[in-house]
Amino acid sequence: MKRIIGIAVLLLVVYLATWIMADAFSGRAVFMSGYNQENLLRRIALYGILGIGVSLVIITGGIDLSLGSVVCLVGVGVPWLAVGHGWPMPVVLLLALALPLAIGLGHGLLVTRLRLQPFIVTLCGLLIYRGVTRGFTQDQTAGFGNGFKALRWLANGEVPLFPGFGLPVPLLILGVVAGLIAVFLNKTIYGRYLLALGNSEEAARFSGIHTDRMIIVAYVICSFLAALAGLLFVLDVNLAQPVDFGNFYELFAIAAAVLGGCSLRGGTGTVLGVLAGTALIQVLRNMINLVFPAYQNMEYAVIGLVILAGVVTDELAKRAVARQKA
Amino acid sequence: MSDRTAGVSAPRLAASGICKSFPGVRALHEVSLKAFPGEVLALLGENGAGKSTLMKILAGVQKPDAGTIAVDGLPVVTGSVQESLRQGIALIHQELNLATNLTVGANIFLGREPHRYGWIDEKAIAAESRRVLELVGLDVDPAREVGELTLGQQQLVEIAKALSVNARVLILDEPTSSLSARETERLFEVMTDLRKRGVSLIYISHRLAEIQRMADRVTVLRDGVNAGDLKRDEITHDAMVRLMVGRDVSRVYQRTAGKPGAVVLAVHELRTPANPAQSVSFQVRAGEIVGLAGLIGAGRTELLEALFGVTPPLSGEIQVEGKAIRPQHPRDAVLGGLALVPEDRKKQGVVLAESVQRNLSLASLERDRVRGIFLNEAAESGITAQMIRELRIKTPGEEQPVRFLSGGNQQKVVIGKWLAMSPRVFLLDEPTRGIDVGAKQEIYQLMEKLAASGAAIFFVSSELEEILGLADRVLVMHEGRITGELSRAELSEERIMTLATGGTTAWSHAP
């Protein structure tokens, strides 16, 4: 809990700053409009699902760089098969959610059985899944056109709360995912195993824990959530281009996890922290968009600097605490 | 050749009134230390007594809050490694500080390479390297990569490196901890030779027998202050221990043996991946403590790890109370009633970053789970409270990260973790390594208690005293096979060493 206070405060500050800069200076509700808040929450929801997935892998001490390409594979593949090739949607959806299980299993097996480095395994995944998607679709944009309205409600629908504002459906999906993963991490023996092996795989194995299986589970969940997010992304925006759909999403997800208190050394991480990290990044993007539209090109630089500042502050704070304790 | 009787000549190194505090901890208070030319001074103390801090201050790694250091009567500016080196004080760390991917010569000259016109002068390096390597009696080509050398040879390279900067005070921190018996002998020869050349050696070790043999004088630290000095003829095991712990501790632990019961662990022709050509058979009974002796590399740890499924055995039978188990993973062994207290406590025994509670409950989470996959928090805190109480684990609370516990208490956490599973067989690998003298006794008592409760205890130890004091029966391994078995009545250091080095004797009866 203590770990996420810093990031929560930072989130609040950036949120308020954006509100003041965007709305007070312009005299209109630009940031605080129902439309903008809905969109912001929707994006937080989609990226949050990715962040939670990768945080499980990061807790094991690994990394998954292939997320963005899995988003692309599913995001492009679903409309390509369902619309372009007329496959029945239930079959396509089943495939879209089953394939990532195989992908995660593959990553997990390569990491645990062959002892390959997660960075390498998933870097290859990043290249392979995007290459496959682009090859099969001949780089053609895929989309749903005017069809599948009901399905698309999952991503662009909302549950009206009061006039002009409703809760985006993806936020409810994120709520379910976050709840399940939080219970998994904190209340089940397997979550406990995951945290223990992230801190010391050897000690966990010497305690009779099947550490390999737990690591594989983490990669499977991660790929599955990436596919779920990919599906929601394409249902939301309707169009997906194989060349850049999901580009850099893995980095946003990893950044959110790290900002939220996951150590890349493994062993630490909370769902709430990852959500706060995701929200911070999305509010920042929103700020650049609304307040500094002329600097839109600098988006990555700004996000990079803020993440760096966050991590540096966190490290310095940790040292100060350690010094006080010593 | 300098005068070897301390006090007659002027001290080479004199540190006095050294104080050093870290926030919340007083590491050293008014500590003084003298080392004379041509003398081996042993610095002794329990873990946390302040030895390392003092060594770091002498070597300039840390700056003292107060106090002075002088070499040959001239004051040394404290807190600078360069200054200490310039005054001839060199520290050889326990973990060697060599770049294993560079050559011997490059290591000796690291950071002060002789050069001509900007090019490194390889000839000068080779010549000077040969000279200092000869001083330490190491016959290797300076052009060889350090990584290709044995640990013992690497240590000699470090000493040669120190000599090449004209070290007059050489501090050796636990130099023999990872050396084989032969390498240790070699190191002692070099130390004796350096002593003759007038170098002052400050030697830190936990191995009292080595100190007794090598040291001209002993300085003991306890809780950050000088506890006393011993002259050559006063250096006895008991005197050293008394100064270290501040009270009398009986020299050798003496087990009060009980009557062994039925066979609990039966191993028949077990072959391990480490020694596939050999097979091992033995039995351990209920209430029995069996020691496994042998030299480093004899295959003892590998045997325990095979029994426990860490590296599954190639073939053979393992029975626990008559039931066969086939450990392919530690989990199989745990379910079969085995527990392993591993050799590398910090890496394999405990999850350092996690709390006492999480460590104590780790092995029993699955057994105590509720509704299929959920943690049983009541059982967890129950086990934690019980183990902290019964094993007398000293911790401020169950949420304390294990990292902050002392070695002895960490070991109790490992034992407690298994005790929660009520195993029939305890396998312990070097159970008291790196643990204070006082805490060792507690671990011994704990092992006896486990045996008294009917468990079979099988432990590996490289400390003969421990084997002699604790074991009802001793198996000795040499190159992957059991070369002999000694009953308590037959036990002696000489017999164990004969078997451990591969000799066979009239009293050994190979199984």
Q: Is the pLDDT of residue A18 over 90?
A: yes
Average pLDDT, integer, range B28-50: 89
Same domain, B324 and B428: yes
* Pairwise CB contact (< 8 Å): A199 & B352: yes
Q: Tens digits of per-residue pLDDT, B470-491?
A: 999 999 998 899 999 999 889 8
The burial class, CB within 10 Å (0-12 / 13-18 / 19+), for A64 is buried
Say whether pLDDT at A235 is over 60.
Answer: yes
* A195 Cβ under 8 Å from any chain B Cβ: yes
Minimal CA–CA distance to A107: which of A99, A115, A96, A118? Answer: A118
Query: Are B214 and B177 members of one domain?
Result: yes
The pLDDT of residue B506 is: 42
User: How far, in whole angstroms, is CA A77 from its chain's centroid?
Assistant: 19
Based on the domain organization, do B236 and B173 belong to the same domain?
A: yes
Residue B312 has pLDDT above 90, yes or no: yes
Q: What average pLDDT does the segment B291-307 reach?
A: 90
The whole-number average pLDDT for the span B246-266 is 76
pLDDT tens digits, one per residue of B346-362: 999 999 999 999 999 99
Residue type, B482: I
Residue B2: pLDDT over 50: no
Pair B377, B449 in one domain? no
The H or E element spanning position B192 is: helix B181-196
Percent of chain A with pLDDT over 90: 79
pLDDT average, residue stretch B31-49: 88
- Per-chain mean pLDDT for chain B: 88
Q: Considering only CA atoms, which of B152, B447, B473, B457 is closest in space to residue B293?
A: B473
Q: In sequence order, what are the beta bridge partners of B476?
A: B293, B484
Residue found under tokens 């001083």: B135
For residue B5, pLDDT beyond 60: no
Contact B333 A203 (CB under 8 A): no
Beta strands, E only, B36-174: 40-44, 66-71, 74-75, 89-92, 115-116, 119-120, 169-173
Confidence (pLDDT) at A66: 97
Tell me the torsion sign for CA atoms B96, B100, B102, B103: positive
Cβ contact (<8 Å) for B374 and A207? no
Specify the higher pLDDT residue, A318 or A176. Answer: A176
Look at residue B135 and tell me if it is in a domain. Answer: yes
Whether pLDDT at B64 is above 60:
yes
Interface contact A200-B330, CB threshold 8 A: no
What CATH number is associated with residue B59? 3.40.50.300
Q: Give the mean pLDDT of chain A.
A: 93
Q: Assess whether pLDDT exceeds 60 at residue B15.
A: yes
Region A98-119 average pLDDT = 97
Token pair for residue B339?
Answer: 């527990």
* Domain presence at residue B193: no
A52-156+165-325 to CATH, choices 1.10.1200, 1.20.120, 1.10.3470, 1.10.10: 1.10.3470
The shortest C-alpha distance from A259 to chain B (Å) reads: 20
Spell out the alpha helix ranges (H) of chain A.
2-19, 25-26, 34-59, 67-79, 89-112, 118-137, 149-156, 169-187, 189-199, 201-206, 211-237, 249-259, 271-291, 299-325
Tell which A residues from 251 to 270 touch B, by Cβ distance under 8 Å: 267-268
Q: Is the pLDDT assigned to residue A321 strictly greater than 80?
A: no
Does pLDDT of A162 surpass 50? Answer: yes
Higher pLDDT, B340 or B139: B340
Cβ pair B23:A193 closer than 8 A? no
- What was the pLDDT predicted at B244? 81
| pLDDT tens track for A249-307 | 999 999 999 999 898 889 999 999 999 999 999 999 999 999 988 888 988 898 888 88
CA A62/CA A259 separation, integer angstroms: 16
E strands, B82-129, are: 89-92, 115-116, 119-120
pLDDT of residue B505: 47
> In terms of domains, do B238 and B368 share one?
no
Name the closest residue on chain A to residue B369, using Cα atoms: A189
Binning pLDDT at 50, 70 and 90, where does residue B10 land?
confident
Asked whether this complex has an ipTM greater than 0.95, the answer is no
Give B392's pLDDT tier (boundaries 50, 70, 90): very high
- Evaluate whether residue B415 is within a structural domain: yes
Angle in degrees, 0-180, between the axes of helices A249-259 and A34-59, rounded to the nearest 10: 80
B466 & B332 share domain = yes
Query: What percent of chain B is modeled with pLDDT above 70?
Result: 94
B161 within domain boundaries: yes
Query: What is the spatial distance between Cα B42 and Cα B27, in angstroms, rounded to a whole number?
Result: 19
Give yes or no for residue B385 having a pLDDT over 90: yes
pLDDT in tens, A179-192: 999 999 999 999 99
Q: Does A115 touch chain B (CB under 8 A)?
A: no
| pLDDT band per the 50, 70, 90 thresholds, residue B7 | very low
- Please tell me the distance from the alpha carbon of residue B398 to that of residue B403, in angstroms, as a whole number: 13
Q: Is B123 exposed, middle or buried (0-12, 13-18, 19+ CB in 10 A)?
A: exposed
Of the three residues B422, B447, B469, the one that is the final residue of a domain is: B422
User: Environment class of residue B145 by beta-carbon count within 10 Å: exposed (0-12), middle (13-18) or buried (19+)?
Assistant: middle
Out of B63-77, B197-211, B372-386, pick the least confident: B197-211
**Range A21-39 average pLDDT:** 90
What is the domain extent for residue B458? 255-337+423-511
On the question of pLDDT at B69 being above 50, the answer is: yes
A to B CB pairs, distance under 8 Å? 80
Residue B508 has pLDDT above 70, yes or no: no
User: How many domains in chain B?
Assistant: 4
Nearest to B23 among A203, A209, A323 (CB): A323
B417 and B453 inside one domain:
no
Nearest residue of A to residue B359 by CA position? A196
pLDDT of residue B465: 80
The span from the CA of A239 to the CA of B368, in Å, is 50
Name the residue among B24, B330, B335 with its Cβ closest to that of A206. Answer: B330
- Please report, rounded to a whole number, the percentage of residues in chain A having pLDDT higher than 70: 98
Q: Looking at the structure, tell me whether residues B510 and B435 fall in a common domain.
A: yes
pLDDT at res. B183: 81
Same-domain pairing of B39 and B141: no
DSSP conformational letter for B327: -
What are the sequence ranges of the domains in chain A? 52-156+165-325
Asked if the structure places residue B195 within a domain, the reply is no
Rounded Cα gap, residues B414 and B360, in angstroms? 7
The reply to whether B271 and B318 lie within a common domain is yes
On whether both B332 and B265 belong to a single domain, the answer is yes
Is the Cβ pair B374, A189 closer than 8 Å? Answer: yes
Q: Are residues B309 and B438 in the same domain?
A: yes
pLDDT digits (tens, 9 = 90+) for B210-255: 889 999 999 999 888 998 999 999 998 888 878 887 765 555 577 8
Residue at a domain's end among B247, B268, B303: B247
Residue B62 forms part of a structural domain: yes
- A322 reaches B (C-beta below 8 A): no
